[in-house]
Structure 1
């Protein structure tokens, strides 16, 4: 069943999420600190047994210089440097197995699948720990360090997402001027943040993005991960103001307001995990051109392969060579 406002109300929905006065300074300082802490990138070939795709095990310096893993998949024998897709995983997932997620390399892109610190055991494996200790939390990572934006889990993960873009743009097989960010659910929220904060990104794909209009999401769905915040506040009854202040620093609506890049969104009107109004809040706040697919009869899976096909068309358009924006670079 439909889980939120009517379609007419959704199209008109605007978020009331608070924007911290020091939002820009907070993220500028966080990223400057991370970049100063380290910039080494290591890429080692993996014997994946594939005949058309090469896989490299990449380690780069994320938040506070901490090592973060990822898979770099490359179409074998393709002329380099390549247009590149940086992908972020949904909640509970990590970078997965080297043999998974071959679409983007098969389509002719360099494809970097970033691992997700402290996750990667829900539905897809991961290898990157989250070494921070941050006080009481509800099960999951949604409330880890939530009492202060400086200790909050998503400060670290969003920094990783930006540093992943920094890292791949230094690799010789990557065209640093043709990079896009992509994700679904949590990955979509990270893509919006990276699109607003990272240097050198050309386009954003955010399918059924999580972490947008978070205060609304917490009170209009009973599903996790938003439920984790509600569970926390049900125990820490005096913490609402402090928690909402922290969440404003990572809310996708605030990143969308700063993202002038072309973006492709999708929303599912029967989504119980990411309420449709929270997606529309980001779309309606986005500072650049947008396109949106509305899936009336789908839940959190969104458009599935149809979203992938639309994203492939979108990224071929926006990552075409500068010399001929309408060209298709041999894909």
Structure 2
């Protein structure tokens, strides 16, 4: 059995002021698949998944007056891990709430919810409904032939903002047992950004200095660099606002492009990186090299990167 109780990012729920416009973008341009709709607490929601994900959803759109992140959810290895983290968080004075199977919506697993020091709502879940990917289980082709749009195979990571990066990082590493892979340090030694993982990839979640509770972006995995370049062509064709054209990170060594959904949430397509063993030694970038850390080729970061898009 895996030593990690948390396996990876399960899903994100994001706010969208125009649900039908956002749904059209995520299904027709990005190429996600709609798996369900519901209405909870008076708000309509659309559940989406990437084509190679075997579980019911990885992105949930909730109609709301503003854009942003409602919560992030991480997949647990065993059902007993819910009790483990409920006790561990409770002992640290963190208030938690348990939810039964399907209580939170269609396809939903059992869940444990709590708030991080930055005000982000975090969920741990087990038992999300398995619906299968778009390939047969016997003699499958490498990919389906009827994909639409960019069609990333899976959700990769979420990147948030916090006023106190160190408190956020300590919460995730000490209580949720994430491992830090990289950090950007200010000249006075405090953390400007950190990158944390459970899935042996460079990051499942990352945080950078900014407003508490804010979403910087959430990212989808692409299989290679050519996929990211082709995706940028698709984004440009559809008139999507591209924030950062295809380039490379220093942190994570990944290839990337950033863009905005039609209501203001920043998306990323990501590929590359490296394998992370449990004894991986964190990499440190200095404040002077922050530009190269974020965008390795350009070696500078514009102010917009540190703000919440509106």
Q: Same fold (TM over 0.5)?
A: no
Report which of the two has the higher share of strand: 2
Report which of the two has the higher share of helix: 1
